[in-house]
Amino acid sequence: MKKRRSKRSIFLAVIVFIAITLFLFFNFKKKEVDYFVLKPVDFEYTILASCSVGYPKPLDMNFQQEGVVKEVLVKEGDSAKKGQKLLQLDDFKPRQQLEIELASLKLIELKLQNAQEEILPNLREKLREAEINLQQAKSLLDRYRQVEAAGSITKSDLDKAEKEFEKAQSRYNQAKIEMENFEKSGLLASLQKELEIARSRIKLARRSLEETSLVAPFDGKIIRVDVQVGERVLPGRRVLTMIEDKKWNFVLKADQRELPFLKPGLKAYVILDAFPERKIEAEIVYVCSEVNRETNTCELRIEVQEDVSFIKFGMAGKAEILAEKFEQALAFPARLIRKGSQGEFVWLWDNARAKKEKINYQRVGERLAIAKNLNPGQIILDAPAEANPNKLKPGKKALSL
């Protein structure tokens, strides 16, 4: 009986010992985490992004009127100078219409000239004579009125003078109205209005004639011709495509966090997907004026500085922008920065223990940060923000940039 009790006591003691050991093991064992050792480094910060040829864009050209193609003066691959004629429609009807409008204008101008040189002077002379007669009749009437009181003339003579004055006044008013009507609403005004309309019609006829020719709007290259001689084309239909003779621009989207490093003039390199063995020199020529709120990205344009004949509009590739050089900087992976109630911090391993250290840093793109308030040789732990500092220690894996 005593032996059984002794064995039971020993068994219980072993169980208690194991339980205590496991409790101490799981509660005081430290968790190993990856770490990074700060050290001064020199590095070039580069921005990598997908890009595509976006400028200059091909221009689809068309006629503004219906017609039959009379001449095709260029072919695909030809170069063209600004103002050079490329295509010509049959222009017989537009030329005929212009001649009709010019003849109509000439006729109106002759009528207007006749009105101004003959009719108008006659009306002016008639008005001047009526004005002189009116002045004479008024002078005579005034004199008769003065002498009538003295009895030098009879009442009938005065009445006769008043009637002559009224007739002269009527003739003058009539001549004046006739003159004003002629100038403002009569023949002269009508001819002047017709002249304005005729000139407008000539402008339209000339424009219609000009639109039978398709000319190059800039120096460039013909990349497609879609018509042939004798073909009828409708307004707005594409007949030819050309592209401006300018340096190629690649367009790419950069994260808005890269903006502090981006400015015109920065050197860049482009590798096209179609020609991976060729590295093309370029530089930034445009940085967005606003950020896309939906994607938080900024549009960049980088211009090819060398003459590369195999580039075509729409080609895709990868761009590498040399944003900035850093010397002896304490750079570390930005993902080691944590957020807490007191702000951003990092876990430091200091004197055999882990602690939170508020971090002052410069962000370098999405991946890197440069410490401002830490020292070379300090160890940053890759631990969660809510970790227990008493259970952390550096592991076996040292992180790299």
How many Cβ atoms sit within 10 Å of the Cβ of residue 369? 22
| Percent of the chain scoring above 90 in pLDDT | 50
Determine contact, residues 281/306, Cβ cutoff 8 Å: yes
pLDDT on residue 189: 76
pLDDT band at 63 (very low <50, low <70, confident <90, very high): very high
DSSP for 310-358? T--TT-EEEEEEEEEEEEEE-EEEGGG-EEETTEEEEEEEETTEEEEEE
Q: What is the pLDDT of residues 169-188, one digit of tens each?
A: 888 877 777 677 666 656 77
The reply to whether the predicted model has a pTM over 0.85 is no
C-alpha distance from residue 398 to each of 3, 32, 224, 238, 374 (Å):
57, 12, 59, 63, 18
As a whole number of angstroms, the distance between CA 182 and CA 196 comes to 17
Q: What is the pLDDT of residues 83-102, one digit of tens each?
A: 999 999 999 999 999 999 99
Least trusted range by pLDDT, from 44-48, 112-116, 328-332, 382-386: 112-116
Q: What is the pLDDT of residues 248-293, one digit of tens each?
A: 999 999 888 888 888 899 899 999 999 999 999 999 999 988 888 8
As a whole number of angstroms, the distance between CA 164 and CA 170 comes to 10
